[in-house]
Amino acid sequence: MRFSPALEEGRLLRRYKRFLADIETANGELMTLHCPNTGSMLNCMGEGGRVWFSRSNDPKRKLPGTWEISETPQGRLACVNTGRANGLVEEALRAGTIVELAGFTALRREVAYGDEGSRIDFRLEFEGAPAYVEVKSVTLGYPDSTTAAFPDAVSQRGAKHLRELATLARQGIRAVQLYCVNLTGIDAVRPAREIDAAYAEALQAAVAAGVEVLAYGTRLDAEGIVIDRRLPVLLTP
């Protein structure tokens, strides 16, 4: 995924009301950006830290740009625009980068399914049977650790998705939880039990039911992001 044009740089003044961020650009312009992230963004930002954003010329937009990347207090880069994850995964699926899901004959996005009124991120058609793939964007890192964690805030929606996947798996349908790790300097992923113990338990139950759990890391900078490597998932504390 290439940013065209390349992202502009600024520094963070504050994030507030969850979806708003005030920044100062490199040339001193003060801007309010859209922050497309519903999570806490724990350890992703610090006031005065570097940020990168995309600018919009759409006159119908209320805000002139979107916060895309943050430099974390640990010096890593995090793609804080969670809406990028599904596009990145689709690119990787079509390129065959996610080898465990290679060989599908058709791809559909946002397909309704389940008993709790969910929509799956991807339904992949394989010869004989489909696979349901739920994607989560991971940006939570900790100092002195190269293991990222998910979620960064209590996620009842995330636990619901795991329950839905577990139900599919028990019915003999292939179900996959895929973590897209949009954070540099990471070599493994784990559930953030210290933040959401219920989510961690739901993940363990999903695995016991037959849900596959995959994680892939990314390379990212102001010019683009690409999924480039498989990462281990550490399920036990």
- One digit per residue, the tens of pLDDT, for the chain of length 237 reads 999 888 999 999 999 999 999 999 999 999 999 999 999 999 999 989 999 999 988 888 899 999 999 999 999 999 999 999 999 999 999 999 999 999 999 999 999 999 999 999 999 999 989 999 999 999 999 999 999 999 999 999 999 999 999 999 999 999 999 999 999 999 999 999 999 999 999 999 999 999 999 999 999 999 999 999 999 999 987
Residues 88 and 57 in one domain: no
Q: Is the residue at 51 inside a domain?
A: yes
In this prediction, residue 237 carries a pLDDT of 72
Looking up tokens 């329950």 gives 163
Residues 58 and 158 in one domain: no
Q: Is the residue at 1 inside a domain?
A: no
Containing domain of residue 61, as a range? 8-79
Burial of 103 (0-12, 13-18, 19+ CB in 10 A): exposed
Residues 95 and 73 in one domain: no
The b/e string for 60-87 (b: 16+ C-beta within 10 A; e otherwise) is: eeebbbbbbbbbbebebbbbbbbebbbe
**Can you tell me whether residue 89 is helix, strand or coil?**
helix
Among 23, 58, 79, give the residue marking a domain's end.
Answer: 79
List of long-range contacts for 106-114, beta carbons under 8 Å, 24+ apart = 113/164, 113/168, 114/164, 114/167, 114/168
Q: Is the residue at 70 inside a domain?
A: yes
In this prediction, residue 173 carries a pLDDT of 97
Cβ-proximal residues to 111 (8 Å cutoff; 6+ apart), any chain: 119, 120, 122, 123, 132
Q: Is the residue at 53 inside a domain?
A: yes
Among 79, 110, 127, give the residue marking a domain's end.
Answer: 79
Contact in structure between 112 and 164 (CB atoms under 8 Å): no
Among 26, 46, 79, give the residue marking a domain's end.
Answer: 79
Looking up tokens 């922050």 gives 35
In this prediction, residue 57 carries a pLDDT of 82
Domain count for the chain:
2
In this prediction, residue 205 carries a pLDDT of 98
Angle, to 10 degrees, between the axis of helix 156-170 and the axis of helix 197-209?
10
Q: Report the CATH number at residue 153.
A: 3.40.1350.60
